[in-house]
Amino acid sequence: MMKKIFVLLFLAFAASANAAQIKDVKFVCDAKKCEMGFQFASEEDLPTFFQKYDAAAKKLTVGFSNTDFALGEGTYGIDDASEWVKSMRVFKEKYRGMDFLKIEMSVGPSLANDKNEISLEGANFLLKLKGNSGKSWTLSKVFAQKKKEADKRALEQKKAAEKAAFEEKKRLAEEEKAAKKAAAEEKKAAEKAALEEKKRLAEEKKAAEKQAVEDKKAAAKAAAEEKKRLAEEKKAAEKAALEEKKRLAEEEKAAKKAAAEEAKRLAEEQKNLDKAVKDSAISALLPGVKEFTVLMGSGMEQFRLVTDDAIDIKYVSGPDKASIITVGVAGPQKSPLFKIGAGSLVKSATWGANGLKLQLPVGLRPVILVQDGALVLQTTESAIKKDGFIFWSARPDGIFVRDWMKAADASQNFDSFVNKFEKDSKKIVSGAQVFHLKPVVRELIVVEDEIDMYAGPNENSQIINRLSFGDRLVNMDLVGLYYKVQSGARVGFVNRRSVSYKDELSAVQQERLKQIDKERGELAEGTINIASQLDGMYEDRVTYSSFGRRDPFVEVKGLVEEGINIDQVELVGIIWESDVPMAILVEAKNPAISYTLKEGDKILNGKVLKITETDVLFLIQEFGVSRRYSMGLPDKYGGKK
Q: How far is CA 254 from CA 246, 261, 266, 575, in A?
A: 13, 11, 18, 87
Q: Are residues 356 and 268 in the same domain?
A: no
Q: Are residues 43 and 108 in the same domain?
A: yes
Distance CA 183, CA 393 (A): 107
Residue numbers in the chain where pLDDT is lower than 70: 1-18, 266, 269-270, 272-284, 297-299, 333-334, 341-343, 381-389, 395-442, 522-562, 624, 636-641
599 occurs within a structural domain = yes
342 occurs within a structural domain = yes
Q: Are residues 130 and 10 in the same domain?
A: yes
Q: Provide the sign of the torsion angle of the four alpha carbons 601, 604, 607, 611, taken in this order.
A: negative
Contact between 501 and 492 (Cβ < 8 Å): no
Helix (H), strand (E) at residue 166: helix 139-278
The residue length of the chain stands at 641
Q: Are residues 123 and 157 in the same domain?
A: no
Res 527: pLDDT: 43
Q: Are residues 351 and 390 in the same domain?
A: yes
140 occurs within a structural domain = no
Res 283: pLDDT: 57
Q: Is 208 left (phi over 0), alpha (psi -120 to 50) or beta?
A: alpha
Q: Is 45 left (phi over 0), alpha (psi -120 to 50) or beta?
A: left
Q: Are residues 6 and 113 in the same domain?
A: yes
Residue 266 β-bridge partners = none
Q: Are residues 462 and 495 in the same domain?
A: yes
Res 565: pLDDT: 85
Q: Are residues 95 and 196 in the same domain?
A: no
Which of 7, 43, 244, 222 lies closest to 124 in space, CA to CA? 43
Q: Are residues 183 and 128 in the same domain?
A: no
At 118, which CATH number?
2.60.40
Distance CA 37, CA 122 (A): 11
Q: Which domain holds residue 220?
A: 152-282
Contact between 293 and 371 (Cβ < 8 Å): no
Res 268: pLDDT: 77
530 occurs within a structural domain = yes
Q: Where among 243, 267, 282 does a domain terminate?
A: 282
Q: Are residues 509 and 607 in the same domain?
A: no
Res 541: pLDDT: 34
Is-above-0.85 flag for pTM?
A: no
Which of 536, 539, 291, 295 lies closest to 437 in space, CA to CA? 295
Please spell the DSSP secondary structure of 174-224, one letter per residue.
HHHHHHHHHHHHHHHHHHHHHHHHHHHHHHHHHHHHHHHHHHHHHHHHHHH
Q: Are residues 267 and 296 in the same domain?
A: no
Distance CA 220, CA 201 (A): 28
555 occurs within a structural domain = no
User: Which SS3 state, helix, strand or coil, does residue 435 take?
Assistant: coil
Distance CA 384, CA 49 (A): 110
At 466, which CATH number?
2.30.30.40
User: Which SS3 state, helix, strand or coil, does residue 557 take?
Assistant: coil
Domain count of the fold of the chain: 5
146 occurs within a structural domain = no
Arithmetic mean of pLDDT over the chain? 79
> How many CA atoms, within 13 angstroms, populate the side-chain half-sphere of residue 188?
6
Q: Where among 282, 301, 318 does a domain terminate?
A: 282
Q: Are residues 128 and 222 in the same domain?
A: no
One-letter identity of residue 186: E
Q: How far is CA 269 from CA 57, 276, 333, 423, 483, in A?
A: 113, 10, 16, 20, 55
Q: Where among 421, 453, 476 does a domain terminate?
A: 421
Q: How far is CA 56 from the centre of its chain?
A: 53
39 occurs within a structural domain = yes
Q: How far is CA 3 from CA 31, 79, 119, 354, in A?
A: 24, 33, 8, 120
74 occurs within a structural domain = yes
Instruction: State the CB neighbour count (10 A cutoff) for residue 168.
Output: 10
